[in-house]
Structure 1
Amino acid sequence: MPSDAPLQLKPRLKVSVDQAQSIVRQIFPHASVNGVTELHGGEISTVIEIALADAATCILKVYPESLQWKMAKEVYVLGLLRNLGPAIPKILLADDTRSAIELNYVLMTKLEGVVLGRREATLSETELFAIYAGMGATLRRINDVTLDSFGYIGPKGVWTAHPSNQAYMSAQFDRKLREFFTRGGDPALAARLRDSVTARQHLFEAAITPRLCHYDFHAGNVLVTSQGAPRLTGIVDFENATSGDPLMDIAKALYYFTPKDAPKRDGLLAGCGQMGRPDWQETLDLYRLYCTLELWCWMAQIGKREALADLTSELANGV
């Protein structure tokens, strides 16, 4: 069993009105802060709403000490999407000087709407299909952004550049299987997983062009209108963005769906449109296996070992 301490995530800090005032006045010199409220959601960053008396409300996003580089990454990725429209927040300020607060942060525009996850229980199947179809269409537009190579995106672009999707995903599976073993995963299962991936790795070859993937596209990162028929108003949280195969993005978006979520699954796939690949379902299954392996390693890394048994069973069922 690994002995290293769990990764520390969400910063445990309080931003005072005076601190918020010093931050926003770099952009709005005469603005007055009315209130500072920490928002719920997300495991990595602290997200704070800053209400202003004479300017639009802003969002302050503060990154943990262990992941300070994610500030520059989010700035970079949002820059790639600046022409997508009002559904993407705009960066007002990015500060790594630690002069106002002790961690890196961005100040960005606040998008209208509420988190989709808070409305889903009240929506009909028809409404769920429609809003997820809109999400699929937006995901397709995000995936339309192309990059120079496959790999994980860092502060200034693709961090771990690979010439092909097959090379990238083979490297990712290899890395995560080693981590699975190091963090206490079953060696026999790791061997079975490796053999299963090797037998199916030709599926990765169909993705020729590296494309921007949100890779955390779910109801907690989607904003919709607060009343009436839901309408998509915003997409947030690009901390996990990668340069890869859009089918990997779709697989991650579908990951937490259960059989009762058929309207959401059908809507998302309808919005994404034609896959253009005859083996797209088999490819989604392989990417789902990767998502499960990645989540197993993440839960082990942050110390949530109570989640590992179910994830281990899912891995065993996926080979």
Structure 2
Amino acid sequence: MSSEAPLQLKPRLEISIDQARAIVRQISPDASVLSLTELHGGEISTVLEIALVDAPACILKVYPESLQWKMAKEVYVLGLLRDLGTTIPKILLADDTRSVVDLNYVLMTRLDGTVLGRREAALSEAGLFSIYAEMGAALRGINHVTLDSFGYIGPNGVWTAYPTNRAYMSAQLDRKLKEFCARGGDPALAERLRDSVEARQHLFEAATTPRLCHYDFHAGNVLVTSRGEPHLTGIVDFENATSGDPLLDIAKALYYFTAKDAPKRDGLLAGYGPIERPDWQQTLDLYRIYCTLELWCWMAQIGKREVLADLTRELAAAS
């Protein structure tokens, strides 16, 4: 088991009205701050809503010390999506000077609507199918954006560029299996997983064009209308974006669905539209193994070891 201390996330900040005023006045000198409210959701950054007098509210997102580079990444990715039909946040200010708050932060527009996760329990199966179909169409729009190479996106584009999806996913698998073992995972299981994935790596080759993937597309990062039948009003949180195979993005979006979530799955896939790829369902199954391995490593990294047994069982069943 790794002796490394868990990664520290969500910086606990006591931001004063005066600090909020100093931040907002960099873009609006006459702004008057009414209140600050911490918003729930997300494991990485602290997100606050700043209510203003006689002006639309805005969102302050502060990044933890260990992940300060994610500020520039989010600015970069949102810039790629300027022409997306679905509303995304607009960056009003990105500040890495630490002159007001001793961490990197962005100030963004506040999108209308409420988080879909807060409405799901009251929706009918038809309502779930409908809103997830809207999400599927929006995800396809995100995946329509092309990049120059496969790889994880950093502050200024793809960090380590790979010429093919197979090369990228092979490197990712190798890195995550090493991390799995370093953090206390079973080496024998790691080898079985390696053999299982390598036997199907030809499936990765069908993705020939690197495309933008949100890679955290779920009900907590989607905003919908607050009343009546829900309709999509916005998408947030592009911190995990990568340049890869759209099927990887779909696999991650479907990851937490169970049998009772069939209306969500069916709606997402219907809205996404035809997937003109041979063996696409088998490819989704292959990506699910990677998503599970990645989640195991992440939970171990942030110290949530109580969930590792269930994830280990899922990996063992997939091997």
- Distance (whole Å) between structure 1 residues aligned to residue 227 and residue 301 of structure 2: 39
The residue number in structure 2 matching 1:311 is: 311
- Distance (whole Å) between structure 2 residues aligned to residue 227 and residue 239 of structure 1: 29
The residue number in structure 2 matching 1:226 is: 226
Offset at residue 70 of structure 1 (A): 0.1
- Distance (whole Å) between structure 1 residues aligned to residue 160 and residue 311 of structure 2: 27
- Distance (whole Å) between structure 2 residues aligned to residue 85 and residue 269 of structure 1: 19
Alignment of 1:247-266 (within 5 A): 247-266=247-266
The residue number in structure 2 matching 1:284 is: 284
Matched to 2:269, the amino acid is: L
- Distance (whole Å) between structure 2 residues aligned to residue 141 and residue 4 of structure 1: 40
Alignment of 1:191-202 (within 5 A): 191-202=191-202
| Corresponding position: 1:147 with 2:147 | yes
The residue number in structure 2 matching 1:170 is: 170
The residue number in structure 2 matching 1:207 is: 207
Offset at residue 36 of structure 1 (A): 0.5
The residue number in structure 1 matching 2:43 is: 43
The residue number in structure 1 matching 2:59 is: 59
- Distance (whole Å) between structure 2 residues aligned to residue 274 and residue 248 of structure 1: 16
SS at match of 2:36: strand
TM-score, normalising length: structure 2:
0.99
SS at match of 1:47: strand
Q: Deviations over 1:141-171 (max 9, x none)?
A: 0000000000000000000110000000000
SS at match of 1:106: strand
The residue number in structure 1 matching 2:122 is: 122
The residue number in structure 1 matching 2:187 is: 187
| Corresponding position: 1:13 with 2:13 | yes
- Distance (whole Å) between structure 1 residues aligned to residue 250 and residue 14 of structure 2: 36
- Distance (whole Å) between structure 2 residues aligned to residue 301 and residue 192 of structure 1: 22
How many residue pairs align between the two structures? 319
Matched to 2:294, the amino acid is: E
Q: Deviations over 1:185-233 (max 9, x none)?
A: 0111001000001100000000000000000000000000000000000
- After superposing the two structures, state which structure 1 stretch, 229-238 or 85-94, moved more: 85-94
The residue number in structure 2 matching 1:131 is: 131
Between the aligned residues of both structures, percent identity stands at 81
- Distance (whole Å) between structure 2 residues aligned to residue 4 and residue 188 of structure 1: 22
- Distance (whole Å) between structure 2 residues aligned to residue 9 and residue 277 of structure 1: 38
Offset at residue 86 of structure 1 (A): 5.3
Matched to 1:159, the amino acid is: W
- Distance (whole Å) between structure 2 residues aligned to residue 32 and residue 251 of structure 1: 44
SS at match of 2:188: helix
The residue number in structure 2 matching 1:271 is: 271
Offset at residue 65 of structure 1 (A): 0.1
* Alpha carbons 2:86, 2:138 under 8 Å: kept: no
- Distance (whole Å) between structure 1 residues aligned to residue 34 and residue 85 of structure 2: 28
- Distance (whole Å) between structure 1 residues aligned to residue 240 and residue 114 of structure 2: 21
SS at match of 1:216: coil
The residue number in structure 1 matching 2:297 is: 297
The residue number in structure 1 matching 2:159 is: 159
Q: Deviations over 1:83-132 (max 9, x none)?
A: 11451000000000000111000000000000000000000100100000
The residue number in structure 1 matching 2:25 is: 25
* Alpha carbons 2:86, 2:235 under 8 Å: kept: no
- Distance (whole Å) between structure 1 residues aligned to residue 4 and residue 261 of structure 2: 38
- Distance (whole Å) between structure 2 residues aligned to residue 85 and residue 95 of structure 1: 27
SS at match of 1:76: helix
The residue number in structure 1 matching 2:104 is: 104
SS at match of 1:57: strand
SS at match of 2:55: coil
Question: Which segments of 5 or more consecutive residues in structure 2 lack a partner in the other structure?
Answer: none
Matched to 2:49, the amino acid is: E
The 4+ residue runs of structure 1 with deviation greater than 6 A are: none
Matched to 1:99, the amino acid is: S
Matched to 2:180, the amino acid is: F
Matched to 2:185, the amino acid is: G
RMSD of the TM alignment (CA)? 0.6
Matched to 1:64, the amino acid is: P
- Distance (whole Å) between structure 1 residues aligned to residue 133 and residue 14 of structure 2: 38
SS at match of 2:107: strand
- Distance (whole Å) between structure 1 residues aligned to residue 232 and residue 303 of structure 2: 35
Matched to 2:237, the amino acid is: D
Question: Which segments of 5 or more consecutive residues in structure 1 lack a partner in the other structure?
Answer: none
